[in-house]
Amino acid sequence: MPELPEVEVVRRGLLNHLPGRTITGLFTDGKRLRLPVPEKELRARLTGARIIDVRRRAKYLLIDFDNGELLILHLGMTGILGLFSRKAEIAPHDHVCWNLDNGYDLRFNDVRRFGSVRLIGPEQIATLEQTVFKDTGPEPFSENFNGSYLYRKAHKKQQPIKNFIMDGRVVAGVGNIYANESLFNAAIRPTRKASAVSEKRYGQLVNKIREVLTTAIECGGSTISDFIDTSGARGYFQIHFKVYARKDQPCPTCGTLIRHRKLGGRASFFCPSCQR
């Protein structure tokens, strides 16, 4: 599943090409995604509209138009957004294609169809945080996300800290890979109870989360079989993995063998010596 860095890489790729472009037409294959594709609304409200910005909130891409409309895209588990010449053949699972005024298409391909396409009108944009994103925590790079915030949210939480920071209601977009790596860098064992971590150590964890995400974004995201960025190049953050998917391999810090266990159904990797 594309995580925050992968979505941010897509955003940056699209930002180089979409602003200033006008939608001239639309194609859909009629198949339902996680939500029904609002074909009539997309065609009526976006045809002739000019793209002015491409933003991200959590794992969602937000495309702003000059008529006040907002397109919200979620890649789901296998979603891919790419720019293709209109002459290029429509591929299997290309469910929505927006024709652009420069002869290219913005195509949304999703094999499993867990992604979504939503269109938000100008009158709804001011209340997005209370509606669409009402259950979404702060961005990991925002001022609101800090050690004090996490310490307060963790009060009386008995769940493992890894599950806690992966909860999108606590912080947006810290997925499994990056939770593993951040906890290792902060020397915190993933099984530790969230309420048993001090405010100071939460402050250190926030810094490590930001460092890991920043590196992943700079590297183009993780290599995931279903993720390809808008230039067609796969990410290579996996070369920086210190614990993720390294079961029984030596810890890069102390040499102790990395251990593995399942937490909340997700693979967790840690060094029993470095992480307490």
We report the CATH number of the domain holding residue 245 as: 1.10.8.50
- Output Rg (C-alpha) for the chain, integer angstroms: 20
User: 37 near 95, Cβ under 8 Å?
Assistant: yes
- 94 lies in the same domain as 125: yes
Predicted local confidence at residue 240, as pLDDT:
86
59 is catalytic: yes
Q: Does the pLDDT value for residue 15 go beyond 80?
A: yes
Q: How far is CA 10 from CA 82, 122, 220, in A?
A: 9, 24, 9
Q: How many degrees, rounded to 5, is the angle at CA 141 between CA 7 and CA 258?
A: 75
- 75 lies in the same domain as 109: yes
- 125 lies in the same domain as 179: no
- 111 lies in the same domain as 171: no
Q: Does the pLDDT value for residue 45 go beyond 70?
A: yes
Please identify which of the residues 12, 113, 234, 266 carries the catalytic annotation: 266
92 is catalytic: no
Please identify which of the residues 2, 5, 140, 160 carries the catalytic annotation: 2
Q: How far is CA 217 from CA 12, 16, 234, 235, in A?
A: 10, 16, 12, 9
Q: Does the pLDDT value for residue 232 go beyond 70?
A: no
Q: Nearest-CA neighbor of 81 among 202, 207, 226? A: 226
Q: Which of 20-24, 48-52, 88-92, 205-209 has the lowest mean pLDDT?
A: 88-92
- 104 lies in the same domain as 160: no
Residue 140 belongs to some domain of the structure: no
Please identify which of the residues 11, 59, 162, 189 carries the catalytic annotation: 59
Q: Does the pLDDT value for residue 22 go beyond 80?
A: yes
Predicted local confidence at residue 223, as pLDDT:
60
Dist. CA 181–CA 166, nearest whole Å: 12
Where in the chain does DSSP place strands (E)? 23-28, 51-57, 60-65, 70-74, 79-85, 94-100, 104-110, 116-120, 259-263, 266-270
The one-letter amino acid code at 222 reads: S
| Mean pLDDT of the region 163-167 | 98
- 126 lies in the same domain as 161: no
- 100 lies in the same domain as 196: no
The one-letter amino acid code at 196 reads: A
Please identify which of the residues 3, 8, 69, 181 carries the catalytic annotation: 3
pTM of the entire predicted model? 0.91
Residue 125 belongs to some domain of the structure: yes
- 69 lies in the same domain as 163: no
User: Among residues of the chain, what percentage have pLDDT more than 70?
Assistant: 94
Residue 194 belongs to some domain of the structure: yes
Predicted local confidence at residue 117, as pLDDT:
98
What the block records as the tokens of 120 is: 């938000």
Residue 110 belongs to some domain of the structure: yes
**What is the DSSP-derived secondary structure letter of residue 164?**
H
Dist. CA 89–CA 25, nearest whole Å: 16
User: 106 near 23, Cβ under 8 Å?
Assistant: no
User: 79 near 109, Cβ under 8 Å?
Assistant: yes
Q: Does the pLDDT value for residue 233 go beyond 70?
A: no
Q: How many degrees, rounded to 5, is the angle at CA 67 between CA 66 and CA 70?
A: 85
- Residue 161 is part of which domain span? 147-270
Domain CATH code at residue 14: 3.20.190.10
Dist. CA 13–CA 54, nearest whole Å: 10
Residue 219 belongs to some domain of the structure: yes
pLDDT class for 230, splitting at 50, 70, 90?
Answer: low
189 is catalytic: no
2 is catalytic: yes
Residue 107 belongs to some domain of the structure: yes
The chain-wide mean pLDDT, for the chain, equals 93
Predicted local confidence at residue 212, as pLDDT:
97
Dist. CA 65–CA 208, nearest whole Å: 35
Predicted local confidence at residue 225, as pLDDT:
53
Predicted local confidence at residue 61, as pLDDT:
97
102, 130, 158 — which closes off a domain? 130
Q: Nearest-CA neighbor of 205 among 126, 259, 276, 136? A: 276
- 96 lies in the same domain as 207: no
What the block records as the tokens of 225 is: 């079989």
- 96 lies in the same domain as 158: no
Q: Express each pLDDT in 79-136 by its tens digit.
A: 989 899 999 999 999 999 999 999 999 999 999 999 999 999 999 999 999 999 999 9
Q: Does the pLDDT value for residue 227 go beyond 60?
A: no
